[in-house]
Amino acid sequence: MDIRRSVAIIGAGPVGTLAALYFANEGWDVSLYDLRQDPRLDKHGNDGRSSTGKSINLALSHRGIEGLRGASPQLAELIVSNVVPVYGRMIHDTRGRQQSQLYDVHGDHINAVDRGWLNNILIDQAEKRENISLKFQYRLLQCDFDARTALFHTPSGEIEVKADLVVGADGAHSAVRRQLMRAARVDFEQKYIDTLWCEISIPPKVGADGKDEYPLDPNHLHIWPRKTFMLMSLANIGDDKSFTGTLFMSPSQFEDLTYPTDVTELFQANFPDVIPLVGEKNLQHQVFNNPKGSLVSVKCNPYHYSDRCVLIGDAAHAMVPFYGQGMNCGFEDVQQLFYCLKSSNSVASGLSAYTKTRRSDLFAISDLAMANYIEMRSSVTSRTYLARKHAEEFLYKYFPRLGIRTLYHMVSFTSIPYHVALRTSKRQARMFRGTAIGVGLGVISIAAYGLLKFRRVWQTWLPHSQ
């Protein structure tokens, strides 16, 4: 890492821009390319920060924050000070009743952050570095890794650039990954799930003082689980106090919505409390006219070629969004990549170490994200799921030396490698399911949880009865 090297990073999203900051910190000459126009500008080339519109918020958690700190503690602090803390899930039943399920018994929380705002802050930071050059409206056409060149299409025509290393941070449909697959023997798996998503904007409500208020509790991820489909919603950052909801259903369910009244019937039967929040006509319009997006999972191996190319973020491991780990995992990729580079005697050995150490974790979180869709749309209402959750939380809180923690806690609030968290969770599941000790602990902890809950209810009721 002592020799002055050049790196071309393809993709100026949050992960690619964070990587640019890491490389700049280590003295590399960095060129950051993106096929889009500068996201900080509107279509006329003016500052568009105030009119970027709504976007689905990202869930920033422990791994992502640690990744940001690795680039700049001050940057991490700036971002963390502009989030909405989310302490748990709020489950809505078909009668509109709500039940809170906290993520952690010690109050740990994830953080809702606006994707556009976060991306702009990172680009601003990159622009301040003398050794980072920003290149927008550059579409990658071809890489010749052996010649260390990359060919781009730009508004001015085709341009060939030279770089010692190419970093692919260009998303699930990565152009860099396609080029890597031409140069190396890359195992590749792409899977679309039988689910589409449709964004539904939930406007703010007018408070008693005439000012806008959040229509739902902003410190919860709201979920309407309906076994085979679901609706979820998260508060938006900013002054408008709105929520962005996302409806997840199969393509056939969306196709069955032929008339506006079909939308109303669907929501009356499954999400009745959403209709007054959005308005019937507005809801019908959004479901019919908003785009329907697909959800893809991508796995590949290896993530590098010699000392010439490496993949990070969705380019290496696109996952479905149901664990909220996509960005966090991408930020951790960057942190782990530089740990490997700085611990190795060459770039080639560092990239090789990155592939070896990251593969099992990336496969694990991809599988966990897929499994969490089932949990969110169905299991969160299961008595068996809730019993195990309460048992694990009780043992974690009152008997920490046992080392029992929920899988969600290990994934979202620690840096425990994903594959280790998954293995630990499976071992705990076997203990609770198949041994006398596990059953005993489960019964005791569930009973204790029930007593604690009864005590809280009794303390709440007692003053009103006197």
pLDDT digits (tens, 9 = 90+) for 101-124: 999 988 999 999 988 999 999 999
**Measured at the alpha carbon of residue 249, what is the angle toward residues 119 and 233, in degrees to the nearest 5?**
45
What pLDDT sits at residue 447? Answer: 56
- 217/234 Cα distance (integer angstroms): 9
What pLDDT sits at residue 446? Answer: 54
Compute φ and ψ for 422, nearest 5 degrees: -65, -45
What pLDDT sits at residue 51? Answer: 38
Confidence of residue 375 (pLDDT cuts 50, 70, 90): confident
- 231/200 Cα distance (integer angstroms): 9
* Higher pLDDT pick, 389 / 123: 123
pLDDT over 60 (residue 234): yes
Lowest mean pLDDT among 1-5, 81-85, 159-163, 365-369: 1-5
- 40, 48 Cβ separation under 8 angstroms: yes
Give the mean pLDDT of the chain: 89
Rounded to an integer, the average pLDDT of 247-262 is: 96
Confidence of residue 384 (pLDDT cuts 50, 70, 90): confident
- Model-level pTM? 0.89
Residue among 11, 126, 118 at smallest CA distance from 56: 118
Rounded to an integer, the average pLDDT of 146-174 is: 97
Confidence of residue 155 (pLDDT cuts 50, 70, 90): very high
Please report, as a single letter, which amino acid is at residue 395: L
Which phi-psi region, left, alpha or beta, contains residue 153 (left: φ > 0; alpha: ψ -120 to 50)? Answer: beta
What pLDDT sits at residue 328? Answer: 98
What pLDDT sits at residue 443? Answer: 55
* Higher pLDDT pick, 276 / 236: 276
pLDDT digits (tens, 9 = 90+) for 412-464: 999 999 999 999 988 888 887 765 445 555 555 555 555 555 555 445 455 44
pLDDT over 60 (residue 251): yes
- 37/13 Cα distance (integer angstroms): 12
Query: Does domain 6-84+113-189+297-373 correspond to CATH entry 3.20.20.210?
Result: no
H helices present in 300-346, as ranges: 314-317, 326-342
Domain boundaries, the chain: 6-84+113-189+297-373, 191-294, 382-456
Three-state SS at 357: helix
pLDDT digits (tens, 9 = 90+) for 293-319: 999 999 999 999 999 999 999 999 999
The residue count of the chain comes to 466
- 187/353 Cα distance (integer angstroms): 18
